[in-house]
Amino acid sequence: MFYKHFSFIIGILLLLVAPHGFADIDTKKNIELSEVFTIDASDEAKELATQYGEDIIYEWDLQGASTKLGPVFERSFNSSGEKEINLNIYSNIGNEKKLIQTRDYRVFVYEKSIGLIYDVSMGSKKLEDFIDLSKKEGIYLHLLEKTTEKEINTRNILSQIQSYKQLYKNRSNYIVIWWEKDFVLSTLSRIEQESVQSPGNELNIVLTSPFNVDVLKNYIKNFLSNKSALKRGILIEESSRFQVINAPSTINGLVTELTKNNYPYIEVNTQSKISQSLFLSQFINTLSNNGYNLSGIYLILIIPFLFTGIAFIKHMVGLSPVGTLIPVAMVLLVFSIGLIGGTIIITSLIILNILIGKFINRYTLLYTPKISFIMTINIIVFSIIITIMYHYHIIDNNINDIMYIILFIIISERLITLIISKDFGEYKYNLVNTAIFVLLTYLLFSIPIIQLFLLAYPEIILLLAPINFIIGKFTGLRATEYFRFREVIKNIEE
């Protein structure tokens, strides 16, 4: 009798001082229909039995159906959806049942799984709504990769896809790549590059983008021809993505559903060939097949237009930017890290070098050490500015390409040479003209239709050769000169 009362008192004390939490038990969060779901708390049961010295009672409650089992719960489900399992753990001290701990488990049972690669810039709300709708239909969206278009080159996407295919090959025979056209096609380029290195990995891929598929028709041909990674691919508009949920688990079944419901889609013809005479289209296709992202290819294409634009505004309009290389480098830098980030860096660079120039001109230094000194200061300030912009999320892509640093050094060196010269005062208007040129060209070449047109018909670059020749032969008045000499022109006409 005394022993029972003593055991009861000790049990109560242990219950009061013992921690009410315990380590998480590793369980699956998503299981296939008819797959056995298991929660094994055996190791914990031994610890609790040692701690309390009495029997431990486990009560598992599955959606209102209470059952008494041991520390191991096993159950298979014959319907899809989210299932909630509640666990109550009791100690039996002095024939009195005392609650030690409660725990809730959730598991999602699915009939179909779809692999998804998406852009993190898409916004969580849109993705969450899609996941919630998928769950209601008993579909598990397996998030294979979340990244950005600029970071694609650093990802090993194909290995993730292959792992997914082995685990879920009976549930779906395609994967979905979702977001803007730049992200979708750059991701496919990365997959193609990895597939070339590991042949025999043909995939069915559904590309979904907010962009109109009819507009993308010619554009797709140049960018996606000769893709050995694709067994079958289709492009659908973002509004059609819910058909992915409603359609069967094969890409052929998805196409059937899209056709039946009159949803627009484009069949990606990977076997199509680009004419050998279209060497610039061949160039785009070659870069794409070797993993280059779309934005990088686009920057290469616009460089001739930037130089032609400088020639036009200088000799036809009459606005003179600072040289030819600085404006082009500034435009490329702004495209690489964004308008706000690029503006901050370039503005800071100009102000910094004006201040350094005022200081350094007081001393007589040899030219090369002087430039080296100023460049060192520029690099230090550049690193500080980039750190601050990352901290405040002004830029969100990784500066992982040496091109950004090269552009920065080119701009810095040219501006330093200009600013520390004695004739800097004469170049103030040139800096203003440079800023106008950078802003206008950025806005112009950011227009999606222009991007699509250049990538679909890159051979238009050939027209720039005669245009530059015509500009070079021009000897008339520039547009601004008509304004400056309007009184003289008026008197002549009279």
pTM of the full structure = 0.75
Rounded to the nearest 5°, which phi and psi values hold at 391? -60, -40
Digitized pLDDT (tens) for each residue of the chain, 494 residues in all = 444 444 444 444 433 434 444 445 667 788 888 788 888 877 776 676 666 666 777 888 877 566 767 788 888 888 888 888 888 888 777 677 788 778 888 888 888 888 899 888 777 788 888 888 888 888 888 888 888 887 777 778 888 888 887 777 666 788 898 888 888 888 888 888 888 777 666 788 888 888 877 777 767 777 777 777 888 888 888 888 888 877 667 888 888 888 888 888 888 876 677 777 888 888 888 888 888 888 888 999 999 999 999 999 988 888 888 878 888 988 988 888 888 888 888 888 888 888 887 788 777 788 788 888 888 888 888 888 888 888 887 776 555 556 667 777 888 877 777 777 656 556 677 888 888 899 999 999 999 889 888 988 899 999 999 999 998 888 877 777 777 766 666 666 65
Residues 226, 232, 237, 241, CA torsion sign: negative
Where are the domain boundaries for CATH 2.60.40.10 in the chain? Answer: 2-110
Residue 327 contacts by C-beta under 8 Å, 6 or more apart in sequence? 306, 310, 321, 434, 437, 438
Q: At what angle do helices 157-168 and 181-197 cross, to 10 degrees?
A: 80
Number of neighbouring beta carbons within 10 Å of residue 212: 12
Residue ranges of the chain assigned to CATH 3.40.50: 112-288
Instruction: Give the whole-angstrom CA distance, residue 15 versus residue 91.
Output: 9
Rg (CA), the chain: 33
Homologous superfamily (CATH) for 2-110: Immunoglobulins (2.60.40.10)
Instruction: Give CA–CA dist 410/402, Å, rounded.
Output: 12
Fold observed for domain 112-288: Rossmann fold (3.40.50)
Q: Distance (Å, rounded) from C-alpha 347 to C-alpha 10? A: 73
* Residue (of 48, 55, 58, 40) closest to 20 by Cα position: 48
